Chains A and B, each alone.
Chain A
Amino acid sequence: MTKSEISLSGLKVFVVEDEAIIAMMLEDMLMDLGCSVIGPCTGLKQAHEMLAGTDTPGAAILDVNVGGEQIYPVATALAERGVPLVFATGYGSVGLAESWRNRVTVQKPYTQDDIVRALNAAIAA
């Protein structure tokens, strides 16, 4: 745990989460871990725009269902840039489209420990 926190310090994490209150918590958790947050983005359009104007992030945590839209176009763009991905969803991994099902997921609600484990797994993958 402690080791993980150290390893994540300074990591730039791209966050897409359309629910402000949840995004606030995720932002808090990542700041506690010493990460810097890109976002949180609340929609696909904003996510694409922010991605275009930023250095490649060290990791990304993506809500799957963003304002009724599916996150996959953003996930594809990130995967093409080799960004380790974590999907956050209320459905668990069965809520992911077939081609993304082997990716790391955290199920809402998640704890700070869940985020640490998921980010480490995604970076190690």
Chain B
Amino acid sequence: MMTGLDFSQLFERLPSPHMVLDRELRFVAANAAYLAVTMRRWDELAGKHVFDMFPDPGENGRKLKASFERVLETGQPDTLAYLPYAIAVPENEGGGLAYRYWTAVHTPLPGPDGRTAYVVQNTVDVTDMVRAEEGATLPFGHIPEATSLIQRVLETAAMKDEAAREADEFRRLFQQAPSMIAVLSGPDHAITFANDALKRFLGGRDLMGTRVRDSLPDIAAQSFMDWLNQVYRSGTPVSGNGVPIRVERPGQPPGDYYVDFAFHPIFEKDGVVKGVFVQGMDRTRDVEAEQRQRILLDELNHRVKNTLATVQSIAKQTLKESESPAAARAAFEARILALSHAHDLLSRSSWAGADLKTILTRELRPYGTDRAEISGDPVRLTPRAAVALGMVVHELATNAAKHGALSNGEGRVSAAWRLETGEAGKTLNIDWREFGGPKVSPPAKRGFGSRLIRMSLEGELGGSTDLRFDPKGLTCHISIPIDESSRHDKI
């Protein structure tokens, strides 16, 4: 053994709590660590019976007594891996009982006769570890009591690690979840957790540990604050779909969004609300898509009604000017088809516009390529111009077939156009000329066609027209402004 070493000093200074009892279980010695953990002075304990000092009439007291007795009887060490044991707190420390958990190793110390004269207790307060474990809601109490101190400590440590690891994993999952998640604590809604999706949405503000009204004044100024308070007070959830929210990110103009959200109360074990669990989803894209769809439906309805009114107008005017029901039927069908063809061209280009050449070709092709000459630069017409010109060209072609150059065997039609750029922008000039037809005389009354040319090209398209019933052949000069910036105009 070592010499010159003061064993009483060694005992006194051991960092782990130690005490020594005699065979009657009376205190013989206790080191500073033991006095500290039991909140006692040595003069209170000296010579006193351990169970007088730390009484426990219940099962745990019996277990402790049994362990002491085993050591005294067998001369072998004995371990209590886990012992819940309450100790009285001195009045000057606040009084009452401190509920604590202990691990204790009892070692026999022989007297001069070789018989066990003393029991040395080394005890460790493991309350914190147990609490950590309970906090992680892991099942508890299945640890065999015979487990040695080391095993016990290792195990507790391992369980603590496991709990920490699981908590970490959950935290990471929540952190990376696609929806926005926050945990708020207390009546002031202190932010104890905010995941990445939420932080991104709120513009990377520092949220952890702050109160909602301090770090998110923009959000707190909206109904969300009232709803948080309501959840905290009433313990009932609040949720909403497609709720408008204005976010004022630092250094950025305010942004308007729509969110689905749910605020759920977080309850303590005793049923008292201790915070609010916040979940949210940015639904701005969906809500805006729904709004766009509504606008499209309105627009569709508008177009359908307008088209029906157009058809109604064509029907009324065709019936009024026709000489016979058969002529009326033929003219009406032809006009509806011309309208329909213009729509076909547009729907093929998703209503982005149509080509003038295609419109002319479609109306004049039935008369044969040798009877109609179509020439000009490629011109993209707006939907409005395409429909108007489609109808006008139909009227011109029909008139030519009925009274003009296409009504005999040899007449011809020339449709030529060019785009001219002037100060006011681009102008489309179309020249319609008829040759070789019967002698032309002006009609007795202005029909649908000539009225349409004036109304749609001058009125609707803001152009000018010059329709002449030249005896040698009808001519029609059309001049309309081409605004290439408004390809998607309404019709």
Question: Does B344 count as interface, using CB distance less than 8 angstroms?
Answer: no
Question: Does B304 count as interface, using CB distance less than 8 angstroms?
Answer: yes
Residues of A contacting B489 with CB < 8 Å?
Answer: 67-68
Contact A19 B317 (CB under 8 A): no
Question: Does B301 count as interface, using CB distance less than 8 angstroms?
Answer: yes
Shortest distance from the beta carbon of B405 to any chain A beta carbon, whole Å: 26
Contact A28 B462 (CB under 8 A): no
Within 8 A of B (CB), among A1-38: 18-25, 28
Question: Does B310 count as interface, using CB distance less than 8 angstroms?
Answer: yes
Contact B313 A25 (CB under 8 A): yes
Question: Does A93 count as interface, using CB distance less than 8 angstroms?
Answer: no
Interface 0/1 of B450-491, CB less than 8 Å to A = 011001100110100000000000000000000000100111
Which of B305, B388, B456 makes the CB contact (< 8 A) with A109?
A: B305
Which of A28, A40, A91, A95 makes the CB contact (< 8 A) with B316?
A: A28
Residues of A contacting B456 with CB < 8 Å?
Answer: 20-21
Residues of B contacting A24 with CB < 8 Å?
Answer: 313, 317, 448, 451-452, 455
Which of B301, B448, B452 makes the CB contact (< 8 A) with A90?
A: B301
Contact B302 A20 (CB under 8 A): no
Instruction: Using known A-B contacts A24-B313, A25-B309, determine if residue A91 contacts B302 with beta carbons closer than 8 Å.
Output: yes
CA distance A91 to B301 in the complex (A): 7
Q: How many residues of A sit at the interface, in one of the four size bands?
A: 20 to 34
Contact B459 A90 (CB under 8 A): no
Question: Does B306 count as interface, using CB distance less than 8 angstroms?
Answer: yes
Interface 0/1 of A25-63, CB less than 8 Å to B = 100100000000000111100000000000000000000
Shortest distance from the beta carbon of A67 to any chain B beta carbon, whole Å: 7
CA distance A25 to B318 in the complex (A): 11
Interface 0/1 of B299-327, CB less than 8 Å to A = 00111111011111110110010000000
Which of A25, A43, A68, A95 makes the CB contact (< 8 A) with B298?
A: A95
Question: Does B384 count as interface, using CB distance less than 8 angstroms?
Answer: yes
Shortest distance from the beta carbon of A92 to any chain B beta carbon, whole Å: 9
Instruction: Using known A-B contacts A19-B309, A22-B310, A42-B460, determine if residue A68 contacts B490 with beta carbons closer than 8 Å.
Output: yes
Residues of B contacting A108 with CB < 8 Å?
Answer: 305-306, 308-309
Residues of B contacting A109 with CB < 8 Å?
Answer: 305, 308-309, 311-312
Instruction: Using known A-B contacts A21-B452, A24-B455, A28-B317, determine if residue A90 contacts B303 with beta carbons closer than 8 Å.
Output: yes
Inter-chain contact total with CB atoms closer than 8 Å:
81
Residues of A contacting B311 with CB < 8 Å?
Answer: 109
Which of A20, A41, A65 makes the CB contact (< 8 A) with B452?
A: A20
Residues of A contacting B491 with CB < 8 Å?
Answer: 19
Contact A90 B490 (CB under 8 A): no
Q: Secondary structure at chain A's binding surface: helix, strand, loop or mixed? A: mixed
Residues of B contacting A40 with CB < 8 Å?
Answer: 455, 459
CA distance A6 to B437 in the complex (A): 47
Contact B298 A20 (CB under 8 A): no
Shortest distance from the beta carbon of A33 to any chain B beta carbon, whole Å: 14
Residue of B nearest to A66 (CB): B490
Residues of A contacting B308 with CB < 8 Å?
Answer: 108-109
Residue of A nearest to B308 (CB): A109
Contact B391 A25 (CB under 8 A): no
Instruction: Using known A-B contacts A20-B455, A23-B459, A40-B459, determine if residue A95 contacts B302 with beta carbons closer than 8 Å.
Output: yes
Residues of A contacting B313 with CB < 8 Å?
Answer: 21-22, 24-25
Residue of B nearest to A68 (CB): B490
Which of A25, A65, A89 makes the CB contact (< 8 A) with B490?
A: A65
Shortest distance from the beta carbon of A110 to any chain B beta carbon, whole Å: 7
Shortest distance from the beta carbon of A26 to any chain B beta carbon, whole Å: 8
Residue of A67, A89, A95 with most partner-chain B CB within 10 A: A67
Residue of A nearest to B451 (CB): A24
Contact A91 B490 (CB under 8 A): no
Question: Does A107 count as interface, using CB distance less than 8 angstroms?
Answer: yes
Residues of A contacting B459 with CB < 8 Å?
Answer: 20, 23, 40-42
Which of B302, B314, B317, B391 makes the CB contact (< 8 A) with A65?
A: B302
CA distance A40 to B460 in the complex (A): 10
Contact A91 B306 (CB under 8 A): no
Within 8 A of A (CB), among B372-412: 384, 388, 391
Binding site for B on A (CB under 8 A): 18-25, 28, 40-43, 65, 67-68, 89-91, 95, 107-110
Not counting A21-B314, A90-B306, a sample of 4 additional A-B residue pairs whose C-beta atoms are within 8 angstroms of each other reads A24-B448, A89-B305, A91-B305, A95-B302
Binding site for A on B (CB under 8 A): 298, 301-306, 308-314, 316-317, 320, 384, 388, 391, 448, 451-452, 455-456, 459-460, 462, 486, 489-491
What are 28 inter-chain pairs, A to B, with CB distance below 8 A? A19-B309, A19-B460, A19-B491, A20-B388, A20-B459, A20-B460, A21-B310, A21-B313, A22-B309, A23-B455, A24-B313, A24-B452, A25-B316, A40-B459, A41-B459, A42-B459, A42-B462, A65-B302, A67-B489, A68-B486, A68-B490, A90-B306, A90-B309, A91-B301, A95-B298, A95-B302, A108-B305, A108-B308
